[in-house]
Amino acid sequence: MDAQALENDALAAVANASSTDDIERVRVEYLGRKSELKLALREVRDRETGMALNALRERLEAAIDGRDAELARAELDRRLTEERVDVTMPGAPVRRGHLHLITQIRREVEDIFLGLGYTVVDGREVETTRYNFDALNFPDGHPSRSPLQTLFLDDDTVLRTETSPSQIRTMEAQEPPVYIVSLGRVYRRDTPDATHTPTFHQVEGLVVDEGITLADLMGTLDYLLKALFGEARRTEFRTHHFPFTEPSIEAHVSCHMCDGSGCPVCRHSGWIEIGGAGMVDPKLFEFVGYDPERYTGFAFGWGLERIAVLRHGIPDLRELWRNDPRLLEQF
Amino acid sequence: MRAPLSWLREYVTVDATAEEIARRLAVSSLDVERVLAAGVADVDGNLGRFLVGRVLEANTHPNADRLRVCHVDVGEGDARQIVCGAWNFEAGATVAVALPGALLPILDVPLDERALRGQDSRGMILAEDEIGLGDEHAGIMVLADGPEPGTPLADVLPIHDRVLDVTPTVNRVDLLSMVGLAREVAALLDGDFHPPTTDDPAIVDHENVDVAIEDFGGCPRYIGRVFRDVTIGPSPQWLRSRLFLAEMRSISNIVDVTNYVMHVWGSPLHVFDRSRLAGGRIVVRRALPGEELRTLDGTLRSLTTDDLMIADGERSVALAAIMGGEESEVTAETSEVLLEAANFEPLGILRSSERLALRTAGSNRWEKGVDPHLAEPAAVLASRMIVDLAGARMTGHVDVQAGLPERPVVRLRTDRASRLIGLDVAPDEQRSILEGFEFDVSSEWDVTVPTWRARDVTREVDVIEEVARAVLDRVPHTMPLRRHVRGRLSKEQRLRRLVEDVLVGAGLSEAYTWSLAGSDPDPSAIRLPDPMTSDQTILRTTLIPGLVEAVRTGLDAGAVDIALFEIARVYLPSDEQLPDEHWRVAGVVAGGYEAVKGVLEVLYATLQLELRVERGRHSLLHPGKSATTEAGWLGELHPTLLEGVWGAFEIDLATLFGRVPERIVYEDVLTFPAVLQDIAVAVDDDVEVGALVDAAREATGLVLREARVFDLYRGEQVGEGRKSVAIHLVFQSAERTLTDEEAAELRGRIVAALTDRFGAELRA
């Protein structure tokens, strides 16, 4: 056997191989069991020839392996280049649910106040008139006490008209300091229209501690409104009147749609009314047995639906209760 | 209430624009809906083109029967020729004239000079509707004589005005008056307040006025005044215009006076045709049983003995404070008038007006508690106007009263005010704020409340509110100290969020449905005695019907593959006054039992709970495909409720959360390998696979880490009435590696138990 000729032939064959199939054939031809080299190796009797032939075998193996890897890589590259997908095709469907917008806002408000150190308490929806009106200092003849405005179960039992009874229940259950929010459904005999539904949600806030001021209330509401409507908003507080707070105020935020220049959302005033608030009336403290000389506090109660429709530009608040998937799935 | 600024400025001198006034009031006093522009535009000298004119000649138009050619002196020396279509004036009349170039609210372009049927017309004689001062167009405005031709019309009539549209809160009925608003503006904007001072007309030919109050609780004061020789007629233009801008209709001079004075002083008045009062008497009393009255609006009203009435010698003639009666109404023929300037107790008025569903400008004020002291200035101003405008003589006066309430006196601690507000308001400033609102402040800080605030301000904190509202826009924004706060969600609140998130992740969308339902499966569910609508009558005991309705909405919207959940309360009847309120999570999902059970399995697994179910029944579910859990139920929705195949569940959250472990303790599943084995057994068809798994567990204990049914087969090979159940078993010990022999022994125990208890036959 002419080892040199064999090596030259083999290396030429390796160089000529153009596919991994080719290279396999070369491997069989030159290194297979019946190849000239393998047969020769079997015949070897002297150490010198053996070493030379083994060296040759190793060289051929290396050349074949190297070429094989090269070709395999080229073939893979070619195949991957051909394996194109239309990357703009949609993915395999995964069903996704949606949290209702009111829940999202509820959580947002809860988180804002959790961050401030408040706790979240739950109230009741069916309430006694004692908690819903008397304890909250509603005078006789207040319109809310009328069955024209409130849903009564009997003379002494109502569907709560605001989340404020939870103030009383909280204060009865614990001593100051109190830092709570309470969120939930409230009920009024309102004819449904674009801005009213007979059931809606409120967030109630209550703070009672030593040295609580109207400035603290305004600072807290300013923080809340900016968190909900954007840091660029301005807030304004105007005097108001509620049975359970004194002094009472109403919070307004500069319109997030027009930034105060006037648009339909703010009815061209530049300001959006958000809801009522005030310093807890001493009558409430007397009712629950807190010392009104020692403690002061503030409270507020706002509608979540109102925040939702204003912030997201929903023209009709009733839509939040219709559960049309086309609306639910936007949020 | 509408407050024209030209009118307001008669009572307050202040250097502030309409916008500045509106903003200050909005922050410190009451809601200002908007500031309206009324009359003609004040641009580019426009107001100068409106002048007082005197008609020198008014001749028939040579070419048009319905027109007249007038010569009008507008102070220019030569008279102007103006063609006019009105006939309600003659030569000598004082009129309002717009010159060419004037911008009128009814025209898109400036008034031009032109010929009408061949006669030049160099201006326009104005009707009130043409400059936004009324809605009358039958004739032009004939002004009272006095102003010289050429006088700017704006000096005589409010031809350009801004009007505040305001709504006070219920405690501030004093602001439902021009005087009250003027006082507020003066105090807040450092203005000069000068309420109307009126000379009371002298009583001539004195006669007795017979007024008896039988119910001082309902009517603490009644001023009655009698006028004779009253000439009923139209009101002068200035009065008509003011009422129009204040959104009140001009009716006749006498009626207009009552509305005007109510607007000025906030104390409503009423007038009777005295000749129609039996005996000329007034008796204030409650209605008699079965009594009826036809009110001014023509409605016959049945009264109750709670309704406060104004009666004459024989019968009721007015529903006190709410509306007069038709029979004693002042008409064009009236010549003898009884003026009522009274005071009424609010609560009774509110109840009557609510029961009768009759609210008027008067009742709106009375129900909020009007200051009884205002009856007097109101009576004086009205008397003056009746005498001046209707040529009447005042012949009698009586003031019956039960003694008017004292002004409250409250001790103010100025440091407490500053501390509550969170702003250091100097005592001097507090004093000047309170005095601006006409509170009297003694050197010892005893604050005496003015009569018109006596119902609302009775305590120190109420006085502090007066200070606070005046400085509201200066109060800084601070945060409470929060020295002892613990802001975190409770376990239940955290788990509720987790439930919401898991269900959303499982593809369910959250719905919000009403707490009040039209029907409920529980016949003892609580019903509203007086519901708003027939579909909201019952406090629900289950969330499912609401969700079914929501699914229908989705189907109608063309949605497919709907899956909804809701977390809300149900209201279960109890023996107490208040029902038991329970939070529930419920869902309705497309697909049958398997679909809904899959959802619940994910939910339970997330909460580290095992979902164990038993066959159960529920009226909302398919009887063969329903199950209960310890916290609720699940199943296929009863096919009569919704077309198609739907799964439904409802779980009580408190029960569910009560079982959730506080924390998860590590189990060693890493050190020693598990042994996996599958078995298949044939059992009778009615054997539940859950029972097989339970039996396998009992037979082996904790070493059986998992037993999961993964295949069910029925067919010839297992025989009629039988099924083959394939169970995947995982054995694992935390202490050592299980040997093949041990695994085989465990498997053998399971097979033996299944054979023994269920007649199972091992197939593989």
Express each pLDDT in B416-442 by its tens digit: 999 999 999 999 999 999 999 999 999
Q: What is the pLDDT of residues B508-560, one digit of tens each?
A: 999 999 999 999 999 999 999 999 999 999 999 999 999 999 999 999 999 99
Cβ-defined contact of A220 to B480 (cutoff 8 Å): yes
Q: What is the pLDDT of residues A290-330, one digit of tens each?
A: 999 999 999 999 999 999 999 998 999 999 999 999 998 89
At residue A261, the pLDDT reads 86
**Centroid of chain to Cα B556:** 33
Cβ-defined contact of B472 to A128 (cutoff 8 Å): no
Closest CA in chain B for residue A219: B477
Q: β-strands B621-629, B632-637: how paired?
A: antiparallel
Whole-angstrom Cα distance, residue B131 to residue B104?
Answer: 6
- The interface residues of chain A toward chain B in range 186-205, judged by CB-CB distance below 8 A, are 187, 189, 191, 198-199
| A31 neighbors A37 (Cβ within 8 angstroms) | yes
Whole-angstrom Cα distance, residue B190 to residue B436?
Answer: 9
Residue A263 — very low, low, confident or very high, per pLDDT cuts 50/70/90? confident
Q: β-strands B393-401, B440-441: how paired?
A: unpaired
Chain A residues with CB inside 8 Å of B528's CB? 151-153
- Closest Cβ–Cβ partner in B419, B465, B532 for A247: B465
At residue B633, the pLDDT reads 97
pTM for this entry: 0.90
At residue A143, the pLDDT reads 87
Q: How many CA atoms lie within 13 A of B709 on its CB side?
A: 16
Q: What is the pLDDT of residues B692-746, one digit of tens each?
A: 999 999 999 999 999 999 999 998 888 899 999 999 999 999 899 999 999 999 9
At residue B180, the pLDDT reads 98
Chain B residues with CB inside 8 Å of A179's CB? 480, 482, 485, 487
Residues B272, B273, B274: CA angle, nearest 5 degrees: 95
Cβ-defined contact of A199 to B487 (cutoff 8 Å): no
Provide the 8-state DSSP code for B201.
Answer: P
Per-residue pLDDT averaged across B260-285, rounded? 97
Chain B residues with CB inside 8 Å of A120's CB? 489-490, 493
Ranked by mean pLDDT, the top range of A217-221, A260-264, B59-63 is: A217-221
At residue B107, the pLDDT reads 87
| B310 neighbors B219 (Cβ within 8 angstroms) | no
Coil, strand, or helix at residue B190? coil
Token couple for B496: 């509720």
Q: What is the percent of chain A with per-residue pLDDT over 90, rounded to a whole number?
A: 81
First to last CA, chain A: 82
Closest CA in chain B for residue A305: B512
Does position B235 have pLDDT exceeding 80, yes or no?
A: yes
Q: How many CA atoms lie within 13 A of B702 on its CB side?
A: 6
A158: enclosing H helix or E strand: strand A157-159
Residue B484 — very low, low, confident or very high, per pLDDT cuts 50/70/90? confident
At residue B146, the pLDDT reads 87
Q: Where are the beta strands (DSSP E) in B245-315?
A: 269-273, 282-286, 292-294, 300-302, 308-311
A118 contacts chain B (CB < 8 A): yes
Residue A44 — very low, low, confident or very high, per pLDDT cuts 50/70/90? confident
Q: Which amino acid is at B475?
A: V
| A206 neighbors A123 (Cβ within 8 angstroms) | no
Residue A140 makes CB contacts below 8 A (sequence gap 6+) with B347
| A226 neighbors A108 (Cβ within 8 angstroms) | no
Does position A213 have pLDDT exceeding 90, yes or no?
A: yes
Coil, strand, or helix at residue A276? strand
Residue B234 — very low, low, confident or very high, per pLDDT cuts 50/70/90? very high
Number of H helices, E strands in chain A: 11, 10
Mutate to test the interface with B, among A239, A318, A322, A326 (most CBs of B within 10 A): A239
Residue B496 — very low, low, confident or very high, per pLDDT cuts 50/70/90? very high
First to last CA, chain B: 89
Chain A residues with CB inside 8 Å of B553's CB? 322-324
Per-residue pLDDT averaged across A109-136, rounded? 97
Chain A residues with CB inside 8 Å of B34's CB? 269
At residue B304, the pLDDT reads 96
Cβ-defined contact of B581 to A126 (cutoff 8 Å): yes
- Closest Cβ–Cβ partner in B489, B529, B568 for A120: B489
Whole-angstrom Cα distance, residue B182 to residue B195?
Answer: 8
Per-residue pLDDT averaged across B250-271, rounded? 97
Q: At what angle do helices B178-188 and B253-265 cross, to 10 degrees?
A: 30
Per-residue pLDDT averaged across A173-186, rounded? 97
At residue B138, the pLDDT reads 85
Q: β-strands A119-120, A178-187: how paired?
A: parallel
Q: β-strands B632-637, B646-652: how paired?
A: antiparallel
Does position B136 have pLDDT exceeding 90, yes or no?
A: no
Coil, strand, or helix at residue B437? coil
Does position A1 have pLDDT exceeding 80, yes or no?
A: no
Q: How many CB pairs under 8 A join A and B?
A: 226
Residue count of chain B: 764
Nearest CA to B1 out of B167, B210, B232 is that of B167
| B125 neighbors B99 (Cβ within 8 angstroms) | no
Q: What is the pLDDT of residues B591-620, one digit of tens each?
A: 999 999 999 999 999 999 999 999 999 999
Q: How far is A164 from chain B (nearest CA, A)?
A: 17
Q: What is the pLDDT of residues A229-255, one digit of tens each?
A: 999 999 999 999 999 999 999 999 999
ipTM attached to this prediction: 0.91
Coil, strand, or helix at residue A28? helix
- Closest Cβ–Cβ partner in B419, B459, B530 for A213: B419
Cβ-defined contact of A153 to B529 (cutoff 8 Å): yes
At residue B151, the pLDDT reads 95
B238: enclosing H helix or E strand: helix B237-245
Residues B444, B447, B452: CA angle, nearest 5 degrees: 165
Which residues face B401 on adjacent strands? B221
At residue B108, the pLDDT reads 87
Cβ-defined contact of A325 to B421 (cutoff 8 Å): no
| A74 neighbors A21 (Cβ within 8 angstroms) | no
At residue B15, the pLDDT reads 96
- Closest Cβ–Cβ partner in A177, A219, A236 for B478: A219
A155 contacts chain B (CB < 8 A): no
State chain A's maximal CA–CA distance in angstroms. Answer: 124
Q: What is the pLDDT of residues B349-388, one digit of tens each?
A: 999 999 999 999 999 999 999 999 999 999 999 999 999 9
Cβ-defined contact of B487 to A127 (cutoff 8 Å): no
Mutate to test the interface with B, among A101, A323, A328 (most CBs of B within 10 A): A323
Per-residue pLDDT averaged across B499-513, rounded? 97
The overall average pLDDT reported for chain B is: 95
